[in-house]
Amino acid sequence: MSESGHSRRNAELYLCIWDMVQVTQPAGAPRARSSHAVAVVGDKAFVFGGEFEPRVPIDNLVHVFDLVSQTWSILDCKGDVPSPRVGVAMVTVDKVIYVFAGRDKEHEELNEFYSLDIETGVWKLLSSGTKSPPNRLYLH
């Protein structure tokens, strides 16, 4: 402890250096959007949800950006495909993407919890309604 009675800690400072990658938007690339979510698995970034106009969901497609070849594609999905929405939370565990909440085109806050297997393209509704935690607003 110091003379003032406060303990001293060694602080570590981390410096992150970002590289800007210029990407040419080829045909098939999604339009710029907001209120979407992005999750990265390996060398691919998955984009879901979003809006062009405030609170109007665009679609329920999963756009995939290959970070190596810098090309876009759309994942062929099936199963319990979520409705179009804005403001979702998205996270990955291994090769599964989990999507929670968001708002639909009627501006209803959703509390649905989905999984997406990126190898098979199969969506599964894991919980909804009273079986899910209370819905959340943006930025969960």
Which two tokens mark 117?
A: 């297997």
CA distance 72 to 66: 6
Residue type, 107: H
Q: Is-contact 48 37, C-beta < 8 A?
A: yes
Which amino acid belongs to residue 29? A
Six-digit token string for 70: 């810098």
Q: What is the dihedral of CA 129, 132, 137, 140, to 10 degrees?
A: -160
Please give the distance of CA 113 from its chain centroid, rounded to a whole number: 13
Q: Which residues are catalytic?
A: 103
